[in-house]
Amino acid sequence: MDVLRSGAIDAASALEELTDAPLLATLGQTHRYYPHVFLAPPWPEIYATDAQRRHGMDVALVEYDRLQRVYPLLSYEVTLLPKVDVVARADFVLNTLAKQ
């Protein structure tokens, strides 16, 4: 099953917020992905910055809130991932997809 890796939507929503350019409307219609999105909520207990994740929890919370608004506007079904270990999260995703 094709599961969405939605970096383009994430990036476009951030750029649209910074520039007010209407990027999401075009992207949402021309580049459709799998209609179900799994969104990982911010998890302060395990959050860490590193070379790839240079922003802090405050920025992560803003991005999370934005993405929770954006995906439904583009007609994606959003399911929040539970704050459990990796194996349990993988099982959650597979079980959720199996029910569709």
8 A C-beta contact, residue 22 and residue 16: yes
With beta carbons less than 8 A apart as the criterion, state whether 42 and 57 touch: yes
pLDDT values of the chain reduced to their tens digit, one per residue, 100 residues: 334 445 777 767 777 777 777 767 766 566 667 788 899 898 888 888 888 878 888 888 888 998 898 888 888 899 999 999 999 999 999 999 998 8
The pLDDT of residue 31? 62
Please tell me the predicted confidence (pLDDT) of residue 4: 41
Q: Which of 65, 4, 55, 5 is nearest to 34 (CA)?
A: 4
Q: What is the pLDDT of residue 98?
A: 93
- Specify the pTM: 0.70
Return the pLDDT at 100.
82
Length of the chain: 100
Task: Quote the distance between the C-alpha of residue 7 and its chain's center.
Answer: 8
Joined tokens for residue 81: 């991932």
